[in-house]
Amino acid sequence: MNHRPFEYWLLEDQPLTGEQERELQAHLRGCTSCAAIAESNLALHSTRMVSPAEGFVSRFEIHLARQRKTARVRQIFGALIFVLAGLALLYWYASPFIRDVMSSPAGWITSVVGYLLFMLTSLQVLSELSRVSFHLVLDFVSPLGWFAILFLVSGLGLLEALFIRRFVRTPQGV
């Protein structure tokens, strides 16, 4: 049974035409779900609105201002703790370098040159290692093996796309 237009008519509180009203009443006689919605809607419309107690707005504004002030203080303390912890960590990491700089310029220059040489040789070793590994893998796997790997990866990509399309759908309507 299609409930969509009837649920829409019940929940929107829009004036209905005569034909729509007749269709709705006929549907309500046979559908307990829509009848419950109509009964709830009628009960909600028949209740009397109660105005808030005297001074509610001012008490609420004071409470809201207090919450905002507390949140602001928490944010300031959190940021302060974060900055102090970052500075302490930076000092801990940089303290050997700072000691070298303070002791003598020769120690500082030696430290910087040593670090740069270490980084340069590390990059050379990594590039040579990756080049050798790449050639080793290319020689180890046959062309038919590469075709099989490419086919497998393509199939997995297709399966992923199908699963994403199947399980991630935007809801249509109500």
Residues contacting residue 28 through CB under 8 Å, at least 6 positions apart: 6, 34, 35, 38
pLDDT tens per residue across span 35-53? 888 888 888 777 787 888 8
pLDDT at 69: 96
CA gap 143, 174 in Å, rounded: 54
Residue 36, pLDDT score: 85
Q: How many residues does the chain have?
A: 174
- Cβ 37 vs Cβ 11: under 8 Å: yes
Phi-psi region of 173 (alpha: psi -120 to 50; beta: other; left: phi over 0): left
Identify which has the larger pLDDT, 99 or 55. 55
Q: Tell whether the model's pLDDT for residue 99 goes beyond 80.
A: no
Of 59-68, 119-128, 165-174, least confident by mean pLDDT is: 165-174
This prediction has a pTM of 0.34
